[in-house]
Amino acid sequence: MSMHSTTARDTRKGIQQATLEKIISYIKKSGNQSYTCESLSEELSLSRVTIRRYLNYLVETNVMFNSIDYSTGGRPSIIYMPK
């Protein structure tokens, strides 16, 4: 599934199509870069918990993938990247 094929019928309970489209649109405009929940939360004015839920949904649907960054000097950070 690509970012283009995510539609309302594909979403599960708790995932709102308008919010999903807002996140996907921002990621498409930003280019092929990596994101954290914190960075997207600030850019999109959504809570980190909401961003994490939607990014995890995009990982589950094979639109994005994630990895853990241990070089933060404190708590590891999850990095999300488009496929």
Write the pLDDT tens digit of every residue in 18-45. Answer: 999 999 999 999 988 999 999 999 999 9
Six-digit token string for 60: 């589950």
* Average pLDDT taken over every residue of the chain: 88
**68: confidence class by pLDDT, cuts 50, 70, 90:** very high
pLDDT at 8: 47
**CATH level 2 (architecture), domain 16-82:** Orthogonal Bundle (1.10)
Q: Where are the domains of the chain?
A: 16-82
Percent of residues, the chain, with pLDDT higher than 90: 71
Of the candidates 47, 45, 35, 13, which has an alpha carbon nearest to the alpha carbon of residue 80? Answer: 35
Rounded Cα distance, 64 and 58, in Å: 6
